[in-house]
Amino acid sequence: FIDVIGEDIVADAGAKLSAVAVTAMENDLGGFEFAHGIPGNIGGAVMMNAGAYGGEMKQVLKWVKVLDNEGNIITLDASELEMGYRTSIIEKKGYIVLQARIGLNIEFSEDIGLIMQMFMQKRRASQPLEYPSAGSTFKRPEGYFAGKLIEDSGLRGLTLRGAQVSEKHCGFVINKEKATASDVYRLIQEVQQEVYRQFGVKLETEVKMVGDFR
């Protein structure tokens, strides 16, 4: 469900970010271009305060409807979300996102489309979009860049069965060839251990682990 209300868009948690961005463009609404190429849905993007190219969800959110731990549906104003780098009160409290309202601005759709196209070109040039992945694997450590730390640790192209540290961008663990979730998880652990051994920096995952990969 994606609905345009004036200069706002109301979208259900399951709505794809790309679909919301295209809907915004088709209605001459700017400000959501940054999310067009992010592989995910509104719910996850809100929970993690997803962002790219200088834009973040916290810049456009007006309110979020969530299900709390007691089964109550509550609406949180943007000022209550405590959004930071890849985190929010929703993640901290274990809420489930149901719906969000996004506030945008009137722009020319042609300009919006050009910005989205430019961002996608940047992604294709710098990220391994030709392989399956969950997007950027690691959070950016304070004062560092995860991809640079991994590259400087000599881990570019490191492969475990079908999982690989991307040779194009070391911040991505890709499914090079029939990797299982366990393969990806174990490779992530190897990367974390080696970066910590060499630089003393603990890499946190940006992707969320669901299930038991041992």
Query: In angstroms, rounded to a whole number, what is the distance separating the alpha carbons of residues 179 and 161?
Result: 6
What are the φ/ψ torsions at residue 44 (nearest 5 degrees)?
Answer: -65, -40
DSSP secondary structure, 49-91, as one string: T-EETTEEGGGTEEEEEEE-TTS-EEEEEGGGS--BTTB-HHH
What are the φ/ψ torsions at residue 51 (nearest 5 degrees)?
Answer: -165, 165
Please indicate whether residue 161 is annotated as part of the active site.
Answer: no
Catalytic residue, chosen from 33, 56, 91, 206, is 206
Please indicate whether residue 86 is annotated as part of the active site.
Answer: yes
Catalytic residue, chosen from 33, 101, 133, 136, is 136
What are the strands of the beta sheet with 159-160, ordered from one edge? Answer: 159-160, 163-165, 173-175
Catalytic residue, chosen from 86, 88, 153, 166, is 86
Burial class (CB in 10 A: 0-12, 13-18, 19+), 115: middle
CA 35 to the chain's CA centroid: 9
- Under the phi-then-psi rule, with left for phi > 0, alpha for psi from -120 to 50, and beta for the rest, what region is 115? alpha
Query: In angstroms, rounded to a whole number, what is the distance separating the alpha carbons of residues 62 and 100?
Result: 8
Please indicate whether residue 126 is annotated as part of the active site.
Answer: no
Q: Which residues are catalytic?
A: 86, 136, 206
